[in-house]
Amino acid sequence: MSLSLITALIVLFIFLIMAPLIIIRKAENNSKILNEWDKIKEYGKKINDKTRNNKN
């Protein structure tokens, strides 16, 4: 086999096999982070608790 064919196969392997695995791993890590609506909900609860405590 020629060197260029071996190099092309290695690059193809990295692109077609490894790249999707890396993308999936990043997506799983991002899904663990609270989404925007959960962040807004938590912030609202925090503000409500703070204002309730100030009234007493």
Q: What are the extents of the domains in the chain?
A: 3-55
State yes or no: pLDDT of 34 exceeds 90. no
pLDDT score for 6? 93
pTM metric for this prediction? 0.43
State yes or no: pLDDT of 56 exceeds 60. no
pLDDT in tens, 39-54: 888 899 999 988 888 7
Are residues 42 and 34 in contact, defined by beta-carbon separation less than 8 angstroms?
yes
| Residue 35, H or E segment | none
Residue 2's φ and ψ, nearest 5 degrees, are -85, 160
Higher pLDDT, 47 or 32: 47
State yes or no: pLDDT of 33 exceeds 90. no
